[in-house]
Amino acid sequence: AQSVTQPDIHITVSEGASLELRCNYSYGATPYLFWYVQSPGQGLQLLLKYFSGDTLVQGIKGFEAEFKRSQSSFNLRKPSVHWSDAAEYFCAVGKTGNQFYFGTGTSLTVIP
Amino acid sequence: KAGVTQTPRYLIKTRGQQVTLSCSPISGHRSVSWYQQTPGQGLQFLFEYFSETQRNKGNFPGRFSGRQFSNSRSEMNVSTLELGDSALYLCASSRIRLAGGADTQYFGPGTRLTVL
């Protein structure tokens, strides 16, 4: 069965510190992987995606993610967090037919 | 290019009523998917429409239905509302439908449904 695990429910970091959000997936075929961000009361905004090729992908807002097939992971990173990055982050696996499986999300708090 | 739009943004209904939510995809996008988001269950896939046909369906009861029009706009309907149907309903559009994977989905702001 397909599934996505985000082990960290909530993370707190200081502004300017680095960030890594973990994501592990279980999927039988080649995974189509995505990271989305959601601010309160809003929809989901795409940060980045991985389909194939270079395993380190760059996204918007200074985010990047690395696909590691051997670890079934797709962790999201940012070298220096800004207060505006506080939000909920979702990792997703896209299945044939545009059916997405989402993780439970990681809530990020940024301390000034 | 305008993003995905959803109407209405907020809705309050009572148990037993029915509700229709609307979604207009990004221009040129032909696939529309619907998701339910709740604090307890997270984001769950409802169904996907492509070329006016439901192609994929999640594990929801038959009270949840949808349709897609020739201009790719989509509606979802929930009949006989229950308290547990209170949620944020998100619509997402994709340009194409890949045979071996998933195209990028772009989400609308959602419709917040409250069932009293």
Residue A28 has pLDDT above 80, yes or no: no
Q: Is B110 in the A-facing interface, judged by CB distances under 8 Å?
A: yes
Residue whose pair of structure tokens reads 């032909």 in the numeric block: B30
- Cβ–Cβ gap B42/A100 under 8 Å: no
Mean pLDDT of B37-50: 93
For residues B73 and A101, what is the distance between their CA atoms, to the nearest angstrom? 23
The C-alpha of B57 sits at a distance from chain A's nearest C-alpha, in angstroms, of 9
Cross-chain Cβ contact A99/B56 below 8 Å: yes
Percent of chain B with pLDDT over 90: 88
Is A9 in CB contact (< 8 Å) with chain B?
A: no
| A103 vs B contacts (CB less than 8 Å) | 42
* A71-100 per-position pLDDT tens digit: 999 999 999 999 999 999 999 998 877 889
A7 pLDDT exceeds 80? yes
**How far is it, in rounded angstroms, from Cα A54 to Cα A63?**
15
Position A42, amino acid: Q
Contact B80, B18 (CB under 8 A): yes
Q: Confirm or reject contact between A94 and chain B (CB < 8 A).
A: yes
What is the Cα–Cα distance from A11 to A73, expressed in whole angstroms? Answer: 18
Window from A14-28, A68-82, A92-106 with minimum mean pLDDT: A92-106
Task: Write the pLDDT tens digit of every residue in B91-112.
Answer: 999 988 777 678 899 999 999 9
- pLDDT tens per residue, range A37-59: 999 888 999 999 998 889 999 99
Count of A–B CB contacts within 8 Å? 74
B5 exposure class (CB count in 10 Å sphere: 0-12, 13-18, 19+): middle
Q: What confidence score (pLDDT) does residue A53 get? A: 87
Q: Is the pLDDT of residue A1 over 70?
A: no
Nearest to A46 by CA among A54, A34, A56: A34
pLDDT at A95: 83
